[in-house]
Amino acid sequence: MMSEEQIPYGDSELIERFDAMVKDNTTVFFDVDQFEAIIDHYLDRQDTTKVSIAVNLALEQHPENTVIHLKRARLLILQGKIKRAIKLLNDLEEIEPANPEILYTKASLFSLNKKYAEAIREYEKALLAGENPDEIYTNIAFEYENMGNYSMAIKYLKKVLRINPNNDAAIYELSFCFEIDNKLEEGIDFFDLFLSSYPYSKTAWFNLGIAYNQLDLYEKAVESYDFAIAIEPLFSSAYFNKANSLANLEHYKAAIRVYRETFNYEEPEAMTYYYIGECFEKMNAYEQAITEYQHALDIDDKLAEAWMGVGIAKDELGLTKEALKFMEKATGLEDINPEYWYILGDAQIRAGQKEKALLSYKKVSELDPFHPDIWVDYAELIANEDKLDEALSILAKGLEADPRNASILYRRSLYLLKKGKTQEAHAVLENALGIDYSRHTELFDYMPQLKNDSNILNLIESFKGK
- State pTM to two decimals: 0.80
pLDDT at position 9 over 50: no
Given this model, what pLDDT does residue 4 score? 37
Given this model, what pLDDT does residue 343 score? 98
What are the structural domains of the chain?
383-466 (1.25.40.10)
Per cent of the chain over pLDDT 70 is: 97
Given this model, what pLDDT does residue 1 score? 33
Range 359-380 average pLDDT? 96
pLDDT digits (tens, 9 = 90+) for 306-334: 999 999 999 999 999 999 999 999 999 99
Given this model, what pLDDT does residue 464 score? 85
Given this model, what pLDDT does residue 8 score? 42
pLDDT at position 3 over 50: no
Three-state helix/strand/coil letters over the chain: CEEEEECCCCCHHHHHHHHHHHHHCCEEECCHHHHHHHHHHHHHCCCHHHHHHHHHHHHHHCCCCHHHHHHHHHHHHHCCCHHHHHHHHHHHHHHCCCCHHHHHHHHHHHHHCCCHHHHHHHHHHHHHCCCCHHHHHHHHHHHHHHCCCHHHHHHHHHHHHHHCCCCHHHHHHHHHHHHHCCCHHHHHHHHHHHHHHCCCCHHHHHHHHHHHHHCCCHHHHHHHHHHHHHHCCCCHHHHHHHHHHHHHCCCHHHHHHHHHHHHHCCCCCHHHHHHHHHHHHHCCCHHHHHHHHHHHHHHCCCCHHHHHHHHHHHHHCCCHHHHHHHHHHHHHHCCCCHHHHHHHHHHHHHCCCHHHHHHHHHHHHHHCCCCCCHHHHHHHHHHCCCCHHHHHHHHHHHHHHCCCCHHHHHHHHHHHHHCCCHHHHHHHHHHHHHHCHHHHHHHHHHCHHHHHCHHHHHHHHHHCCC
Mean pLDDT estimate for the chain? 91
* Beta pairing partners, 29: 6
> b vs e for 403-437, b when ≥16 Cβ sit within 10 Å of the residue's Cβ?
eebbbbbbbbbbbbbeeeeeeebbebbbbbbeeee
Given this model, what pLDDT does residue 131 score? 67
Given this model, what pLDDT does residue 443 score? 94
Q: How confident is the model at residue 423 (pLDDT cuts 50, 70, 90)?
A: very high
Least confidently predicted of 37-51, 83-97, 216-230, 339-353 = 83-97
Given this model, what pLDDT does residue 246 score? 98
pLDDT at position 75 over 80: no
Given this model, what pLDDT does residue 34 score? 87
Least confidently predicted of 31-35, 232-236, 306-310, 329-333 = 31-35
pLDDT at position 236 over 70: yes
Phi, psi of 197 (to 5 degrees): -95, -30
pLDDT at position 10 over 60: no
pLDDT at position 384 over 90: yes
Q: How confident is the model at residue 294 (pLDDT cuts 50, 70, 90)?
A: very high
